[in-house]
Amino acid sequence: MSTTFAIEATDLVKTYGTGDTTVRALDHASLSIRRGRFTAIMGPSGSGKSTMMHAMAGLDTVDSGSIRLGETELVGMSEKQRTLLRRTHVGFIFQQYNLVPALTAEENIALPLRLAGQKVDKDWMLELAATLGIADRLTHRPSELSGGQQQRVAVARALISRPEVVFADEPTGALDSRSSQALLAFLRRAASELWQTIVMVTHDPSAAAYADRVEFLSDGEVIDGHDNPTAATVLERMARFDAERQGVAA
Amino acid sequence: MIRFAFAQVLAHRLRLALTVVAVMLGVAFVTGSLVLNDTAQKLFDDQFATASAGADVTVRTATAFDSGMGVEVERDPLPAATLDSVRDVDAVTDAVPVAKGAARLEQGTTDLGSVQLSTWVDEPVGAYPLRDGAAPTSDGEIVIDKNTADALGLRIGDAVTVVGDTRVDARVVGLVGFGDGDGPPVGAVALSTLTTAQSVLGLGDGLSEILVTSELTAGELQPLLADVLADDVQVATAQDLAAAGAEQAAANLEMLQVVLIAMSVAALIIGAFLIANTFAIVISQRTRELAVIRATGATGKQVLASVLVEALLVGALASTVGVLLGIVSTYGLRALAGVFGVSIPSGELVIETRTVIIALTVGVLVTLVSAVGPARRAAAVSPLAAMRSSAAETRGLGRGRLITGTVLLVAGSAVAALPGVAAGPVLLLGAGLVLALVGVVMIAPSALRPLVSLVGAASARTVPGQLAREAALRAPRRTSATVMALAFGLALMSFVSIVGGSVKAATGEQYREVIAADVVIESAGQEMLGGVHAAVYDEVRDVPAVGVATRLKYGHWKDGKTTSALTGLDPELITEVAQIRMVDGDIAALSAGGVVIAERVATERELAVCVELPMTFARLGETTLPIVGIIADGPAQALQTDFFVSLDTYGDLFTEDMDASIFVLAAAGTSPAELSTALETALEDHPTVQVRDQAAVIAGRTQTVDQIFGLVTVLLAFAMVIAVLGIANTLALSIVERTREIGVLRSVGMSRRSVALMVQAEAVIVSVVAVITGLLLGIAASVAAIGALSTIAPLRMEVPVAQLAVLAGVVAVAGLLAGIAPAARAAKLPVLEAIAHA
């Protein structure tokens, strides 16, 4: 039993297609996510970082390996078990804010709890809304909100159930730089002040700089990682990658 | 752009499949109706033409008109001497005497049904070629048509009894065909020698007609014969006879024709909703693509044209298939009509070019017109839409549309109500209802919103329910078109059910109020003029349980251009078996001759007692009868006609000697049940005569209403199946639109079951709203219709609650079923791909 790690993914293998067209998205990848920390996952397109995140979040299955989310083994779970797990143990932030257009901001935030049939902690909802600066927008529909506001609603939705882990998939991809910085700063605070475990997939070194740790994926493997990244260390590491890859290619 | 339209049709073939089915069904209905009509018409024509083709001219008693309400009038027999007069004409090659009339066949104690008994005439003058056995050469021998023999299981050598005025035992000696077929398209035929026919039919030595052949043409022969024959003898050519037959056929088919055409229109309207819906959805899905096309330089007009060409392609394809389907389905329709008691002759189908042209045009036009709205919306897509991430339907309805719709609805309702309120012409009813319907369709997207919201509120306590309600509200046009397709079908069914139920209730009520007779003796058959043999009356009077028995006879006469019916009754006895309420004069005055008319007729034509009413009778031609009384409408309707004469007067006017019915009161101390039993025993020899109590008589009189309701319900059921498929289609497409939303819901923890529940809930909301809307529309239309009809006949709104509940239940369940497939599909969407869905 581990208390230091929120997620321990070991030896994950995931392939798509068969025969000549087989693509190995995860090739014996292992990764541990520290509890209460903000972890960034980086890597070039096709490196398997999204697959890795989807697998850890219970959105997708793997062919083999082990994923422990807290005390729960995800591999081998049925679709239904994973769905129930997602409701309360996992939060999501997508690049396309992906709010439900028919529901108000407040209803969107409360959605995971209502689906689980749990009571919404009103104080927590208001605290989140206040912290995210959307307290006065709660009765609005997504179409009446700006992109930044929509993304903050999505963040609140991810946090409302006090999940084990929040996964963010390129959360700033559709935002302008000011909104991006505000959002990343909030995620940073959620980790350090609220002890919220956050995993973010990004390709932006300056976004990764907000994290406690950065992990690098390439060709379906976790190849490296370091604590307290800055934009400079991330860029430097990525440049080295490219050089290595070109070296291999040559 | 045309090539673009082709590509679109191919790319969206699945989505357009429903459109194709909807158009196809409507076109198939139109084709089927037309083919069925033409076929029946031709078969009837052929029957008359074939029957008279062998003779150049036919000599028969003249009548003032040939047929009334689809029944050929019975003619007086010709004196035997006429045959000699005809033979004396030099130009006549041959003259064959024929006796014919209605008779019945019995085998032992089994009633084999009615036949047309006629005289055997050798071919080619006769129309019945021998198929098997021999021609009847002596008394007591008959031949019957092969179809009837097969149906009844009769074989050559079997003994039967031919029943007419007298009973004659006979042996089947041969089987005949008719023209190329094995029997006439309608009815059964038995042929015997002249003397047998004469004696069965009670003609003495009289003749029904003389078939004449000659070297001369019919036109040359006609005047020669007319010269030597008396004025009351008609010399008819084969063409004249065929023309008279055609008129009769048209009258026979009128009811069916009206029902089928109304159903075709209904199917097309339901189809139109679905077409509009499918195109709207296809286009909303393609918004991005259309915007890209616009951005690359296509004008709005080009986009409009491309969508319309797409509609044209779909319409043409579907109409073509529909025509073929319609031709095939004619067989089914024929069988269906038969099940509900409307008999249509069997024979080769008649497919006129006109039928194909009409059906194709209608199908293509309906598709095009339905696609105009969506096409205009497609043309309005701005190139900028390509840049936006989503293009949900948020645009409200134009106020112009709302106002126009409301005006049409109000004006239509007012016009529809007019006949009921101000006794305007009933034609206004139809026009008003159509106007109001168009109005309803226009305002439906807005008007249904509160209803959808309300019905949805019931389900909104759960997340899937709430989302379902929001989805239905978010696309008002789509929801309203889906709802209206279903609601319209249900409205029609409930309309027929309510109006039919009211008519039935009124008929029964009136009958019970007026008729005091314990028992009514009627023919089991559906003879227009009643099929109770005159001898029955005498036998009834001899039954000790009978207190009062009085006979009624029906006859047809020509009232200007239309054929009307009248009742012959006994003015003294009728008051003992019925409550005859008179507005003016006395029914007893009929004893001295003259006619009593219904109040309605008197008011309409401003007639009063003492006025001479001009009437044309088949035998006597034009004559006048003095009006001696005016009877209230209630009793007139219970006795089924608007004109009444005494039995004596009837005898002067008509040769028919059949009673329509005999009203019987039990003798003192005898219960109606005992009377029934006594009569049934006494009338055992008359298998086609039925002893009916009040309930049975009412049921018999309202049988037609049930027939129409049954036929309409079955036909509409086909249209409803399509409307239900429409729900499934709409949901399936709405799911495609909401793929990403469903992905998000799944990712935040909505289970597959909840997703399925959400889709199912939307189906339920749509069906429930459709049920409510349909019932309201049906009831509203019924109120107007009954209001209008009550100016003609006393009618009160009678809502058959049980029947409507069943209809509503079936529609609701159908809606529920429609949600199953889309719900399963939505639940199966893979989460990740759904989120990634653009």
| Contact at CB, A54 and B832, closer than 8 angstroms | yes
Percent of chain A scored above 70 by pLDDT? 96
pLDDT of residue B709: 77
Residue where a domain stops, chosen among B368, B390, B412: B390
Element (H, E) at A169: strand A165-169
Pairwise pLDDT comparison (A67 vs B33), residue with the higher score: A67
- Banded model confidence at residue B148, pLDDT cuts 50, 70, 90: confident
Task: Report how far apart, in Å, the C-alpha atoms of B300 and of each of B292, B307, B382, B449 are.
Answer: 12, 11, 9, 30
Residues B288 and B165 in one domain: no
Q: ipTM of this predicted complex? A: 0.73
Cα distance between residue B441 and residue B447, in whole Å: 10
**Position A158: which residue type?**
A
Judgement on whether residues B539 and B625 belong to the same structural domain of the protein: yes
What does pLDDT average to over chain B?
Answer: 80
CA atoms within 13 A on the CB side of A71: 2
Query: B471: nearest CA in chain A?
Result: A102
Q: Do the chains contact at B749 and A84, CB–CB below 8 Å?
A: yes
CA–CA separation, B309 and B364 (whole Å): 11
Q: Are residues B219 and B230 in the same domain?
A: no
How far is residue B803's CA from residue B780's CA, in Å, rounded to a whole number? 17
CB-CB under 8 Å, A101 with B748? no
pLDDT of residue A1: 42
Tell me the average pLDDT of chain A. Answer: 86
Is residue B435 included in any domain, yes or no? no
Say whether pLDDT at B310 is over 80.
yes
Same domain, B255 and B331: yes
* B412, amino acid identity: G
Is the residue at B417 inside a domain?
no
Residue B173 confidence (pLDDT) above 90: yes
Q: Does residue A215 register a pLDDT over 90?
A: yes
In terms of Cα–Cα distance, which of B503, B423, B790 is closest to B633?
B790
**Residue-wise over A135-172: b if at least 16 C-beta within 10 A, else e?**
eebbebbbeebeebbbbbbbbbbbbbbebbbbbbbbbb
Same domain for B6 and B48, yes or no, is: yes
Select from B746, B741, B795 the least CA-distant residue to B502: B795
Q: Are B546 and B664 in contact (CB under 8 A)?
A: yes
Binning pLDDT at 50, 70 and 90, where does residue A13 land? very high
Of A85-99, B412-426, B674-688, where does mean pLDDT reach its minimum? Answer: B412-426
* pLDDT given at position A66: 93
Residues on chain B touching A111 (C-beta within 8 angstroms): 463, 745, 748
Please tell me whether the peptide bond between B124 and the residue prior to it is cis, using omega within 30 degrees of 0: yes
Tell whether B118 and B209 lie within a shared domain.
yes
**What's the mean pLDDT in A160-178?**
87
Structural domain of residue B17, as residue ranges?
A: 1-72+226-390
Does residue B128 sit within a domain?
yes
Q: What single-letter amino acid sits at B177? A: G
Residue B309: pLDDT band by 50, 70, 90 thresholds? confident
Q: Are residues B265 and B193 in the same domain?
A: no
Residue A23 C-alpha, separation from nearest chain B C-alpha, in angstroms? 17
Q: Which two tokens stand for residue B679?
A: 């009569």
Q: How far apart are CA B267 and CA B265, in angstroms?
A: 5
Q: Which of A60-69, B252-261, B650-659 has the highest average model confidence (pLDDT)?
A: A60-69
Quick check: B68 pLDDT over 60?
no
Look at A96-110, B29-43, B276-290, B434-448 and tell me which has the smallest mean pLDDT: B276-290
- pLDDT tens digit string along B180-236? 777 776 678 899 998 998 888 878 888 888 888 888 887 888 888 888 777 777 777
Query: pLDDT tens, B99-129?
Result: 888 788 888 777 777 788 889 888 777 778 8
Domain-embedded: residue B716: yes
Residues of chain B with a CB closer than 8 angstroms to some CB in chain A: 389-390, 392, 394, 463, 466-467, 470-471, 473-474, 740-741, 743-752, 754, 831-832, 835
Looking at the predicted structure, is the pLDDT value of residue B799 above 50?
yes
What pTM was estimated for this model as a whole?
A: 0.70
Q: Report residue B31: phi and psi, to 5°.
A: -60, -50
Domains of chain A: 36-45+78-249 (3.40.50.300)
Segment of A78-92, A124-138, A236-250, B503-517 carrying the highest mean pLDDT: A124-138
The confidence band for A40, taking pLDDT boundaries of 50, 70 and 90, is very high
* B57, pLDDT greater than 90: no
3-state secondary structure B318-374: HHHHHHHHHHHHHHHHHHHHHHCCCCCCCCCCCCCHHHHHHHHHHHHHHHHHHHHHH
In a domain, B669, yes or no: yes
More confident residue, B703 or B81: B81
Instruction: Answer with the one of B225, B245, B274 that is the final residue of a domain.
Output: B225
Residues B581 and B675 in one domain: yes
Please state, for a pLDDT cut of 90, what percent of chain B lies above it: 4
- Give the span between the Cα atoms of A159 and A152, in whole angstroms: 11
pLDDT digits (tens, 9 = 90+) for B250-273: 666 666 677 777 777 777 777 787
User: Would you place residue A198 in the very low, low, confident or very high pLDDT band (cuts 50, 70, 90)?
Assistant: very high
Same domain? B621 vs B669? yes
If phi > 0 it is left, if psi is from -120 to 50 it is alpha, else beta; for residue B231 that is alpha
Residue B401 domain flag: no
Which residues have a Cβ under 8 Å from the Cβ of A55 and sit 6 or more positions away? A9, A12, A14, A26, A61, A62, A67, A74
Give yes or no: residues B527 and B620 share one domain: yes
pLDDT one-digit tens code per residue, B457-489: 887 778 888 888 888 887 787 788 888 888 888
Say yes or no: B112 and B213 in one domain.
yes
Q: What is the pLDDT of residue B394?
A: 47
Closest residue of A to B832, CA-based? A59
- Strand, helix or coil at B47? helix
- Residue B333 in domain: yes
Mean pLDDT of B133-151: 88
Number of H helices, E strands in chain B: 27, 23
Q: Show which of B225, B249, B269 is a domain's final residue.
A: B225
Asked if B534 and B592 sit in the same domain, the reply is yes
Q: Which residue of B has its CA nearest to A87?
A: B749
Number of domains forming the structure of chain B = 4
Q: How confident is the model at residue A210 (pLDDT cuts 50, 70, 90)?
A: very high
- Give the model's pLDDT for residue A209: 92
**Burial (0-12, 13-18, 19+ Cβ within 10 Å), B431:** middle
For CA atoms B119, B125, B128, B133, the dihedral sign is positive
Report pLDDT digits (tens) over A86-105: 877 888 888 776 787 778 89
Give A 5-64 residues with CB within 8 A of chain B. 54, 59-60
Answer whether residue B150 is part of any domain: yes
**Pick from B467, B750, B835: which is nearest to A98 by CB?**
B835
